[in-house]
Amino acid sequence: MFSKLKYCCLTFCYIFIACSIAHGQNQDTALKVVIIRHGEKPKNGDNLNCQGLNRSMLIPQMIVSKFGVPAFSYIPSIGTDSATKHARMFQTITPLAVKYNLAINSKYTGKDSAGLVNDILKRHGLVLVVWDHKSIVPIIHAMGINEAQLKWNDDDFESIWVITFSNSMPILTKDTENLKPEPECK
């Protein structure tokens, strides 16, 4: 009697674990693209200001708690055009990359939406894109989302745009970071 009960319990545990692993793998392989912009900047200059630096230090916990650890991350090539002469996107992603040992893909210029999206669509799992806000809408359009009213406001450092796919169709949802970075350097 005991061995039958033990056998049934072990079989149940095996099936439960196998189903849990399969369910987790399905979630991990689905492409999800999370797009944020760089942190706050000074009126003049190419780097983050103190508030932007403080935001970048809060981003790892926020991204991982909301979405998990990214499998892939992208920033535009630094210094390749007027939108990317700054290091702000790199500065914003650095704390996350350091904490989780992430490779940062900076192969694409700020204006190469088609190249960036072509590469992203070959991926699976969570993809994080940290970009200049003026070039985010073209990325969204290149992914196949044709909402005409999309705009990322100049003073918006809190938005998160998330693209998921259902039956190969992109779906855009919006979220917020809900971060309150201190304005002063520590």
- Report whether pLDDT(19) > 80: no
Q: What is the pLDDT of residues 147-181, one digit of tens each?
A: 889 999 999 999 999 999 999 999 999 999 999 99
Q: What is the pLDDT of residues 68-79, one digit of tens each?
A: 999 999 999 987
- Report whether pLDDT(81) > 70: no
- Report whether pLDDT(4) > 70: no
Q: From CA 132, how far away is CA 77, in angstroms rounded? A: 11
Single-letter residue type at 8: C
pTM for the full predicted model: 0.83
Instruction: Provide the pLDDT confidence category of residue 16 given band limits of 50, 70 and 90.
Output: very low
Q: Over the chain, what is the mean pLDDT?
A: 87
**Do 82 and 104 meet the contact criterion of CB atoms below 8 Å apart?**
no
Beta bridge partners of 175: 160
Q: What is the DSSP string of the chain?
A: -HHHHHHHHHHHHHHHHHHHHHHHHHHHHS-EEEEEE-----SSSSS--HHHHHHHHHHHHHHHHHT-S-SEEE-PPTTSSGGGSS-HHHHHHHHHHHHHT---B--S-TT-HHHHHHHHTT--SEEEEEE-GGGHHHHHHHTT---TT----TT--SEEEEEEEETTEEEEEEEE------SS--
pLDDT score recorded for residue 186: 76
- Report whether pLDDT(2) > 70: no
Instruction: Provide the pLDDT confidence category of residue 20 given band limits of 50, 70 and 90.
Output: very low
Q: From CA 120, how far away is CA 90, in angstroms rounded? A: 18
- Report whether pLDDT(129) > 90: yes
Q: What is the pLDDT of residues 38-61, one digit of tens each?
A: 999 999 888 999 999 999 999 999
